[in-house]
């Protein structure tokens, strides 16, 4: 996704695609078609810090796109993706977020698993895609996103979105939970998460999700990581739905629509703020996107006890040798007792008349 979340795929990747058979095998669910696409807005907030993270707040704002470049009769789907955005924290660091140069990958529309590359997903074991499920799922059915198992909770859940006439879309809703050991720039933590995801019942493509992760360790350090995604444009029409009977403010994920509406403004603000600062340095890429499934190593950071401190101050310009200390000593002068000339008190003879000083 984030992240970070379109170009021609390398010939080497195309070479691994099997030759397409003459006809599709029978498949009940919707099959991706060339030029299917959606764009999304993603916000990540790290807050509710404890211990070393007390008071720390970080925001990521990302806009991305996923596009079906081609769909083959054997079930292989060739995808292009891209994302870009910005991050900033409350200690003055900020920086850009953008997808890597390799932006092509494939997945199977039969198993939903990535088959050659990913859209920059790291730390997972044989993951499935995060944005597409079987649109024939029923309540109580199961599916996977990346390495997380989900259970379908509704097939007509109303999700707030600006893309329909009613402001809500009918969706397939699912919930997944899990835990893992985080070992990255932020430190070593036990992480637990709850992930609510919503999909278009006509195509199975993502409409939005909310992911909340809590990280903690035995020393009392920790933080909360909240990741929210909502589609901002789709090549296919979403199904309008009536507003849920409860007030929008009371539904767990109604705030998704707010994230979608304001994310562009927030990105602009973050960029302006960054341009007025002297560039801070970031830890590297963003946190592993979605729910992390493995250890991802970064350079030491806040979890190591905060900043390493400023470098030692040197008053000598770089590249110049250190200045040696020179001590000046004053010599006492006395008059020559024969000719009156002032001579050093340490001299043994007068330099004028040659007479001995004593």
* DSSP, residue by residue, 327-357: ---PPPEEE-TTT--EEETT-SB-TTT--B-
In percent, the amount of the chain with pLDDT more than 70 equals 67
Q: Is 52 helix (H, G, I), strand (E, B) or coil?
A: helix
9-13, 204-208, 291-295, 340-344: range with lowest mean pLDDT? 9-13
What is residue 335's predicted lDDT score, i.e. its pLDDT?
A: 73
Is residue 34 within 8 Å of 71, Cβ to Cβ?
Answer: yes
Q: What is the mean pLDDT of residues 291-301?
A: 34
Label residues 207-240 b or e (16+ Cβ within 10 Å = b). Answer: bbbbbbbbbbbeeebbbbbbbbbbbbebeeebee
**Among 122, 26, 23, 117, residue whose Cα is nearest residue 77:** 117
Looking only at Cα atoms, what is the longest distance across the chain?
128
Task: Indicate whether 308 pLDDT > 50.
Answer: no
176-190, 291-305, 322-336: range with lowest mean pLDDT? 291-305
Q: Supply the pTM of this predicted model.
A: 0.66
pLDDT digits (tens, 9 = 90+) for 40-82: 999 999 999 999 899 999 999 999 999 999 999 999 999 999 9
Helix (H) or strand (E) holding 12: helix 11-15
Greater confidence (13 vs 319) lies with 319
pLDDT band at 268 (very low <50, low <70, confident <90, very high): very low
Could you give the CA distance from residue 13 to residue 96 in angstroms, rounded to a whole number?
Answer: 28
**Among 237, 239, 234, residue whose Cα is nearest residue 35:** 234
Could you give the CA distance from residue 33 to residue 198 in angstroms, rounded to a whole number?
Answer: 20
Task: Indicate whether 296 pLDDT > 90.
Answer: no
Q: Domain segments of the chain: what residues? A: 11-304, 327-358
Is residue 222 within 8 Å of 49, Cβ to Cβ?
Answer: yes
Is residue 69 within 8 Å of 81, Cβ to Cβ?
Answer: no
**Among 215, 208, 226, residue whose Cα is nearest residue 189:** 215
pLDDT band at 12 (very low <50, low <70, confident <90, very high): very low
Could you give the CA distance from residue 132 to residue 312 in angstroms, rounded to a whole number?
Answer: 53
Q: What is the mean pLDDT of residues 16-40?
A: 71
- Tokens 């529309």 correspond to 109
Task: Indicate whether 292 pLDDT > 90.
Answer: no
Q: What count of other Cβ atoms lies within 10 Å of the Cβ of residue 132? A: 26
What is residue 69's predicted lDDT score, i.e. its pLDDT?
A: 97
Report how far Cα 287 is from the mean position of its chain's Cα atoms: 5
Q: What is the mean pLDDT of residues 36-41?
A: 97
Average pLDDT over all residues of the chain: 75
């Amino acid at each position: 996704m984030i992240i970070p979340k379109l170009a021609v795929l390398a010939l080497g990747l195309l070479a691994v695609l099997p030759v397409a058979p003459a006809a599709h095998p029978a498949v009940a669910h919707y099959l991706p078609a060339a030029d299917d696409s959606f764009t999304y807005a993603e916000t990540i907030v790290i807050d509710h810090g404890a211990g070393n993270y007390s008071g720390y707040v970080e925001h990521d704002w990302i806009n991305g796109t996923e596009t079906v470049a081609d769909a083959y009769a054997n079930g292989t789907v060739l995808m292009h993706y891209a994302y870009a955005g910005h991050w900033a924290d409350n200690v003055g660091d900020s920086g850009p977020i953008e997808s890597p140069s390799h932006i092509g990958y494939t997945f199977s529309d039969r198993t939903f698993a990535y088959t050659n590359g990913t859209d920059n997903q790291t730390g997972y074991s044989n993951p499935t895609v995060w944005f597409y499920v079987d649109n024939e799922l029923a309540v109580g059915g199961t599916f996977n996103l990346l390495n997380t198992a989900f259970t379908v909770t509704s097939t007509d859940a109303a999700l707030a979105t600006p893309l329909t006439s009613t402001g809500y879309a009918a969706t397939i809703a699912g919930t997944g939970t899990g835990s893992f050991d985080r070992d990255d720039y932020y430190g070593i933590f036990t992480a637990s998460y709850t992930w609510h995801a919503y999909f278009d019942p006509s195509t199975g493509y993502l409409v939005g999700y909310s992911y909340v992760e809590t990280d903690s360790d035995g020393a009392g350090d920790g933080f909360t990581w909240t990741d929210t995604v909502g589609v901002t444009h789709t090549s296919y029409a979403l199904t309008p739905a009536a507003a849920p009977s409860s007030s929008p403010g009371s539904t767990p994920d109604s705030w998704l629509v707010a994230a979608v509406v304001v994310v562009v403004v927030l990105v602009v603000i973050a960029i302006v703020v960054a341009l007025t600062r002297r560039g801070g340095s970031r830890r590297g890429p963003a946190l592993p996107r979605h729910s992390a499934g493995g250890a991802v190593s970064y350079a030491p950071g806040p979890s190591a006890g905060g900043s390493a401190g400023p470098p030692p101050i040197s008053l000598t310009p770089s590249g110049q040798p250190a200045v040696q200390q020179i001590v000046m000593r004053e010599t006492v002068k006395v008059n020559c007792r024969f000719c009156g000339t002032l001579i050093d008190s340490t001299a043994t003879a007068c330099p004028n008349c040659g007479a001995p000083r004593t």
